[in-house]
Amino acid sequence: KSDCSVFVADEAAMVMFGQQIAHATSGGEVIFLNGDLGMGKTTLSRGVLKGFGHQGSVKSPTYTLVEPYELGEVTVFHFDLYRLGDPEELEYLGIRDYFTDQSICLIEWPERGEGVLPPADLLLNITVEQRGRRINWQAQTEKGRQLADKLII
């Protein structure tokens, strides 16, 4: 299922879905997290990091734009581009070096980096549904399809 959706009832379920995403990766994925403020993008990212064995807290890299997490074989880069003024600023961060076969890139507010970010393997969009959230996802590449095929819903 490369184009799919799931209802996520609460924060704990959001973290679990993030863990599932972590377990479905093979390395090198670029994942765009779309959705308004408060939709749960950082919560989902926390789940992905937990899935890779991260124990500590996860802060929103709103001011630093990106936070790296070295977790065994992989490095997860968690981006929050909400405060990015101009996509060109990403060039100064040297972001091209972040997108390797050993890294997983989770990107909140990817539209702010349009033109400079590489294309996403997987697009996720989070919206409110009842008291929880609905996550829609879409694979954009073969790598993204392989990831999406492993998501159990």
Residues that bind Mg ion (CB under 5 A): 41-42, 60
**Which amino acid type is present at position 138?**
Q
Reported residue count of the chain is: 153
Residue from the set 54, 78, 112, 133 that interacts with ligand ADP by CB under 6 A? 133
Site string for ligand ADP, 67-86 (x = CB under 6 A): --------------------
**Rounded Cα–Cα distance for residues 102 and 13 (Å):** 27
Residue closer to ligand ADP by CB (options 87, 132) is 132
Q: Count the Cβ atoms, other than its own, within 10 Å of residue 52.
A: 20
Show Cβ contacts of residue 86 under 8 Å, excluding neighbours closer than 6 positions: none
Give rounded-to-5 percent helix, strand, coil for the chain.
30, 30, 40
Please select the residue that binds ligand ADP; options are 22, 39, 90, 107, rule is CB under 6 A. 39
For ligand ADP, which is the closer residue by CB, 12 or 88?
12
Which of Mg ion, ligand ADP, none has residue 39 at its interface (CB below 5 to 8 Å by kind)? ligand ADP
Q: What are phi and psi of 107, to 5 degrees?
A: -125, 110
Choose between 7 and 119: whose C-beta lies nearer to ligand ADP. Answer: 7
Which one, 74 or 81, has the nearer CB to ligand ADP? 81
